[in-house]
Amino acid sequence: MTVTNSDQRYEIVKSLIEQEDWEALSEVIEKLPTVEIVEILEKIDEEHQLVVFSLFSKKEKAQIFGELPADEQYYFFQHLDKRDFSKIFQDMRSDERADFYQDLSVGEQSALLPYLNKQVRSNVLELSGYEADSAGGIMTTDFATVRNWMTVRQAVDKIKLDSPGKKMIYYVYVVDNEKTLLGFVTLKDLILAELDDKIEDLVHVDFVAAQVDDDRENVAKMIEKYNLVALPIINIERKLLGIVRHDDAIDVIVQEQTEDMERLMGIQPSAEADEDEGYLDLSVFKHFKKRVVWLVSLGIMGMISGLILHHFEEALDKMVILALYMPMLADTGGNAGSQASTVVIRALSLGEVRSKDWWLITFKEMRISLLLAICLSTVACIKVFVLSYDAVLPGHLTLTYVAFIISLALALQVVSSTLIGAGLPLIVRKFGGDPAVVASPAITTIVDVTGLLIYFSLATAFLLN
C-alpha cells in the first residue's frame, strides 16, 4: 500500500491523545477515512472516545456513528446529551439509522422519538419495520429522484436541493408523481449530456429491481450478477421504496460466506442476521453454544456406528487385523464425501448447476469417484502389506487375499461416500431446503455407517466363513 501504514497513523493519534493536543489531533483525524476513524475509536479507552468524537463536525459524527459496532453505538448513545444525539441520528444514513433504532429497547425508542423531526421519525419507523434479512432490512432511503419531463439542467438542480452530497449514489431514479419507478439515469449520463436534453430521452427503462421482502442474499447476488452500483427496491405496485448499495452487497456476501463455511463444519450460524460480533468479541459461552449442537448430535448419531460394531464384535474378535484398518475406511470415506458435498454445495450456491441437473452431477461424480477409488485402493493395498507383514492370520488366509478384500471395501466406500456426499445437497435442494445445511459432520457420520456395513459385510462374506 502506498499510504502510510494505518498502524503508524494510530500511533500518532494515540500520542496526540496522551498529550491532550486536541488541535493537532483534529487536523490529523480530519483526513482519515471513516473506517479508520472507527477502528481508532474502538482501540482508545472509553474516557477519551467521547472527547475525540466531539472534535468532528455534525456530518462527520453521523457518518462515523453509523459505522461503529453496535456496542460502541450504544455506549455513545448512553453518554451523549439527548438533543445532541438526536441531531447526529437525523444525519445518519437511513439504513444504519434504522439498524441502530431496532436494537434499542421499547423504552429507549419512545424516549428518542420526540426529539426527531417528523420526516426522520416516519422514516425510521418504516425501515425498522422490515425483517432484518430482507431487502427492506438492508436498504437505504437516501437516493435522488427526478421526473421524465425535466431537462438535465432541472434534474441537476433538483439533485442539488434534495441530496446533500454524502448520501446520494450514482444512479438517479426516474419516478412519476406517485413514486412509481419508471427507470434510471446515471450521473455519467447526466454529465455527458447537454443541459437542455430531456430526461425522458436519456432514461434507461429496462432495469432490474427487487421486491422489498426478497431475501437479502438474493439481492446481493443480483447486484453481483448485473455489476450494479445500486439496486432499486420496490413494492408490489412498483413504487420505489429504497435502494441497496454495492458496498452493502459485498458485506452481505462476505457475511453469508462466513455462515456457509461455518455451517459446513457443523457450527450454528448466529441467531441474529445482523450480529456482527467478530471472533474475539463473541463470548466463550456463545462460541460453545454454536458448536456443541452438532458435536452432540454427532455423538448421538454415532450410536448407529456403535450398534453396527456391536453386531460385528465377533468378527473383530476373530480377526483383530480388521480393527487396524477401520480408521482408514472411515477417514477416506469421510473426506471423499466431504469433498463431493463441498463442490456440489458451492456449485448450487453459485448457480452453476440446478437441482434438475442431478443426473449430470451424479454421473460426473460416479466417474470421478471410480478414478479416486482405483488410486486409493492401490494405496490401501500397499499399506496393508507394509503394516501387517507380520500379522497372524487365521487358517487358510493369505495377506494378499486379506489386502485385496480390504482394498475392495475401500474402493466401494470411496464410490458410495462420494455419491452420498454429492447426492445429499441435491436432495435437500429438491425439497426446497438450503443445501449448505448438509454439514460435513453429517456426511462423515453417514459414510461411517455405510463404510462399516460395507467393510464388515465383505469381511464376513469372504474372510470369516
User: Which 171-190 residues touch its own copies, going by CB under 8 A?
Assistant: 187-190
Q: How far is the CB of 275 from its own copies (least distance, A)?
A: 13
Count CB atoms within 10 A of the CB of residue 334. 22
Nearer to its own copies, 382 or 461 (CB): 382
Size of residue set near its own copies by CB under 8 A: 122
Q: Quick one: 86 or 339, whose CB is closer to its own copies? A: 339
Site string for its own copies, 341-380 (x = CB under 8 A): -xxx-xx--x-xx---x--xx--x--xx--xx--xx--xx
Q: Copy the grid coordinates of residue 113.
A: 422519538
Interface with its own copies includes 51 (CB under 8 A)?
A: no
CB of 247 within 8 A of CB of 170? no
Cell of 410: 475401500
Residues 319-338 that bind its own copies (CB under 8 A): 320, 323-328, 330-332, 334-336, 338
The helix/strand/coil state of 281 is: coil
> E strand or H helix at 322, and its extent?
helix 321-349
Site string for its own copies, 415-454 (x = CB under 8 A): -------------------------xx--xx--x---x--
Nearer to its own copies, 24 or 320 (CB): 320
* Single-letter residue type at 327: P
User: Please, which of residues 294-313 interact with its own copies by CB under 8 A?
Assistant: 294-296, 298-300, 302-303, 305-307, 309-310, 313
Q: Which is nearer to its own copies, 31 or 118 (CB)?
A: 31
Residue 105 C-beta: closest distance to its own copies, Å: 28
Tell whether residue 227 is a contact of its own copies (CB under 8 A). yes
For its own copies, the binding residue among 70, 168, 397, 458 (CB under 8 A) is: 168
Spell out a b/e string for 219-252, using b for 16 or more CB atoms within 10 Å of the CB, else e: bbbbbeeeebebbbbbeeebebbbbbbbebbeeb
Among candidates 409, 392, 416, which has minimal Cα distance to 457? 409
d(CA 412, CA 410): 5
Q: How far is CA 334 from CA 28, 61, 80, 191, in A?
A: 55, 52, 55, 59
Of 70, 63, 214, 209, which Cα lies nearest the Cα of 137?
214
Instruction: In whole angstroms, give the CA distance from residue 375 to residue 377.
Output: 6
User: In DSSP terms, which residues pair with 230 in a beta bridge?
Assistant: 245
- Supply the minimum distance, in Å, between the C-beta of residue 225 and its own copies: 6
**Shortest approach of its own copies to residue 132 CB, angstroms?**
20
Residue type, 190: L
Q: Which is nearer to its own copies, 41 or 80 (CB)?
A: 41
CB of 264 to its own copies, least distance (A): 7
Segment interacting with its own copies, rule: CB under 8 A, options 72-80, 83-91, 94-102, 155-163:
155-163
Q: Minimum CB separation from its own copies for residue 75, in Å?
A: 20
Give whichever of 111 and 303 is closer to its own copies, judged by the CB atom. Answer: 303
In angstroms, how far is CA 81 from the centroid of its own chain? 36
Strand partners, 462: none
Which of these segments, 30-38, 46-54, 96-104, 124-132, binds its own copies (CB under 8 A)? Answer: 30-38
Interface positions, 62-91, toward its own copies (CB under 8 A): none
Output 5 or 78, the one with its CB closest to its own copies: 5
Minimum Å gap between C-beta 262 and its own copies is 6
**Binding test (CB under 8 A) with its own copies, winner from 160, 272, 394, 430:** 160
Per CB under 8 A, contacts with its own copies among 256-285 are: 257-258, 260-262, 264-267, 278-280, 284-285
Residue 28 touches its own copies, criterion: CB under 8 A: no
Q: Which stretch binds its own copies (CB under 8 A): 11-19, 72-80, 98-106, 205-213?
A: 205-213
Maximum C-alpha span of the chain: 100
Nearest residue to 458 via CA among 304, 326, 347, 281: 326
Nearer to its own copies, 149 or 359 (CB): 359
Residue 180 three-state SS = strand
Q: Which is nearer to its own copies, 52 or 156 (CB)?
A: 156
Alpha-carbon span 316 to 396, nearest angstrom: 18
The CA distance from 223 to 250, in Å, is 9
Exposure of 431 in the CB half-sphere (CA atoms within 13 A):
9
Q: Which is nearer to its own copies, 71 or 317 (CB)?
A: 317
Residues of this chain, 131-150, that bind its own copies according to CB under 8 A: none
Q: How far apart are CA 96 and CA 456, in angstroms?
A: 59
Radius of gyration of the chain (CA): 31
- Taking the complex as a whole, the smallest distance from the CB of residue 178 to its own copies amounts, in Å, to 16
The residue type found at 4 is T
87 burial class (0-12, 13-18, 19+ CB within 10 angstroms)?
Answer: middle
The reply on whether position 31 binds its own copies by CB under 8 A is yes
Shortest separation between residue 170's beta carbon and its own copies, angstroms:
5
